[in-house]
Chain A
Amino acid sequence: MTDATGAEPVQVMEHLVSLTYREPLPPSTVRFGEALIAGRILGQKCPQCGRVFMPPKDFCPLDVIMLGPEHDVEVADRGLVTGFTIITPVRYYGQTKTEPFIYASVLLDGADSTLGGQDITGLPVEQLRMGMRVQAVWKAQADRDWEGMTTRGWGSVGGSIESFTPTGEPDVPREQFLEHII
């Protein structure tokens, strides 16, 4: 079908959407990011329930009280894998991975909240286990940056930590981290 001018009617129209958000990082995320670049991982300890939230949020979501820099504590750069997914990449726009990769949740020693979406390197993916002890593989000091540090969530370690890798220590029994399994 054509109109009077002989042109084809419009059947498909592209409408590309791009939204930009500019927001200062919350003070707790700034402290977390600065510490990471210096090679330290910050958590925040609630004086009421004693739990250590990592990254800091400047409040305890369980006791609903405000926290501040005075509640910051350092947690270890090692811990255990509480759970993981092995992702086999399919091709789609923006996908850069070609080989199966890992998204693991890591519970760092001294923290009560897990770090999600971490890559585990240094072993074949099929050997990864829940309860496996791992440690951070830090980027070289000069290569550390604020990548992934946004106001969505409370901060990512990706700008300073490449991945986690097995320490070789014995696995932690499942009963000891049950409450951290999603």
Chain B
Amino acid sequence: MAPVDIAIVGWSQSSLVSAAPVSEPHLCLQTVTAAIAHSGVGLREIGFTCSGSCDYLSGGPFVFVANLEAAGAWPPISESHVEMDGAWALYEAWVRLQEGDIDTALVFGSGKSSPSDRAQLYPQQMDPYYLAPLGADPDSLAAIQARALIDSGKATERDFAEVVQRSLRNAKSNPNVVQSGDFDIDALLAAGYVNSPLRPHDLPPVTDGAAAVVLATADRARQLTDRPVWIRGIDHRIEPHYPGVRDLTSSPSAALAARKAGIGDGAVDIAEISAVYSPQEIILREALGLGDSVAVNPSGGALAANPVMATGLIRIIEAARRVADGSARRVLAHAAGGQCLQQNLVCIMEAE
């Protein structure tokens, strides 16, 4: 059975900053309210709500329940939560809309990375026997991935710096980023390593933020807007948890997700991808089959702002808004979860 057509009809991002002065529920409320207003759907009309956040990041058990206050959950609403980037919440909402009994859904993702230290926090996500006691932190694992990429001959440290240079240059046209600017490759390469072969610029900036999206079924979407952004395909795939059993220089799960989402059905104009560490862009370009004609991360991507748990949903928003404003016709958005691109989601969107 072919999936029901679903469109993105509204969205919003909070300010993406290195340390937000307000609480996470507050960030969610501002963002959800703005996305609802953008969509033209009434908050009480929303058929299903799904959010994505991480209790470890927020710093308490069931902290995600407080974020639900942003969705006006009284009288009771139908809702769900994923301990994943908001892009996966969008996937769940897309699946829920396939049932056909409701016509709108609200999705949001949020995270504040500023209160904690990622080197201390993220090893707790890893398996508790072999990886957590090692202190397997994301920067170290990304460095192992980058080293594997260099050793395979697929990329050099200069290639990493070029990803950074282009991302931060693109970010100059995006007011909602933590960092942007023009950087000289040789100057970037003159910096010392943080985790060899990664330099500070290869790592994402610590970022707090939230994002929200409103989805609608076809008839409802056409009532709401002249320019619905149609989700043509969406799929996510996962690889083993242990980095040691994977070829870290490729991303078969991203490639498979892209194929299932319909990447082969037509060329995309732009791709917004969650390459949180610069070497990952090189891996993802190959896995997603993105040629030189595709503008990758015109927003600046995750190297310009990385609000963990919203980064992937923001890729969907950044791609969708370019369809809505007519500057692109067919676009790809990618979200990632876990370490070293363990989990990948691909969403392909089109204009009418």
Task: Chain A residues near B25: list those with CB within 8 A.
Answer: 57, 59
Alpha-carbon distance between A63 and B23 when the two chains are bound, in angstroms: 18
Residue among A13, A20, A59, A63 facing the most chain B CB atoms (10 A cut-off): A59
- Interface contact A66-B74, CB-CB below 8 Å: no
- Interface contact B22-A26, CB-CB below 8 Å: yes
Q: Is B70 part of the binding interface, using a Cβ–Cβ cutoff of 8 Å? A: yes
Q: Is A123 part of the binding interface, using a Cβ–Cβ cutoff of 8 Å? A: no
Q: B43, B60, B121, B132: which contacts A64 (Cβ < 8 A)?
A: B43
Q: Is A19 part of the binding interface, using a Cβ–Cβ cutoff of 8 Å? A: yes
Closest CB-CB distance, B259 to chain A, in whole Å?
39
- Interface contact B21-A24, CB-CB below 8 Å: yes
Q: Is B114 part of the binding interface, using a Cβ–Cβ cutoff of 8 Å? A: yes
Q: A15-B132, A64-B33, A152-B63 are in contact. Are A23 and B72 (CB under 8 A)?
A: no
Q: Is A58 part of the binding interface, using a Cβ–Cβ cutoff of 8 Å? A: yes
Q: Is B3 part of the binding interface, using a Cβ–Cβ cutoff of 8 Å? A: no
- Interface contact A19-B69, CB-CB below 8 Å: no
- Interface contact A17-B124, CB-CB below 8 Å: yes
B-facing mask of A82-121, CB < 8 A → 1, else 0?
A: 0000000000000000000000000000000000000000
Closest CB-CB distance, A17 to chain B, in whole Å?
6
Q: Is B268 part of the binding interface, using a Cβ–Cβ cutoff of 8 Å? A: no
Within 8 A of A (CB), among B114-167: 114-117, 120-121, 124, 128, 132-133
Closest CB-CB distance, A145 to chain B, in whole Å?
21
Q: A15, A22, A26, A64: which contacts B23 (Cβ < 8 A)?
A: A26
Q: Is B194 part of the binding interface, using a Cβ–Cβ cutoff of 8 Å? A: no
- Interface contact A61-B121, CB-CB below 8 Å: no
Closest CB-CB distance, B295 to chain A, in whole Å?
36
- Interface contact A15-B59, CB-CB below 8 Å: no
Q: Is B191 part of the binding interface, using a Cβ–Cβ cutoff of 8 Å? A: no
Task: Chain B residues near A19: list those with CB within 8 A.
Answer: 56, 59, 116, 120-121, 124
Q: A22, A26, A61, A62: which contacts B115 (Cβ < 8 A)?
A: A22
B-facing mask of A62-85, CB < 8 A → 1, else 0?
A: 111110000000000000000000
Task: Chain A residues near B54: list those with CB within 8 A.
Answer: none
Within 8 A of A (CB), among B194-210: none
Q: Is B29 part of the binding interface, using a Cβ–Cβ cutoff of 8 Å? A: yes
Within 8 A of A (CB), among B23-70: 23, 25-26, 29-30, 32-33, 43, 56, 59-60, 63, 66, 69-70
9 other A-B residue contacts (CB within 8 Å) besides A59-B25, A63-B72, A151-B23: A17-B132, A19-B116, A19-B124, A21-B59, A23-B59, A24-B21, A59-B26, A61-B70, A151-B59
**Which 10 pairs show the lowest CB-CB distances between chains A and B?**
A61-B69, A23-B115, A64-B72, A21-B59, A21-B115, A152-B60, A26-B23, A15-B133, A62-B74, A59-B29
* Residues of chain B at the chain A interface (Cβ within 8 Å): 19, 21-23, 25-26, 29-30, 32-33, 43, 56, 59-60, 63, 66, 69-74, 112, 114-117, 120-121, 124, 128, 132-133
Q: List 10 A-B contacts (CB under 8 A).
A: A15-B132, A17-B124, A19-B124, A26-B22, A57-B69, A58-B26, A59-B69, A61-B73, A64-B70, A151-B23
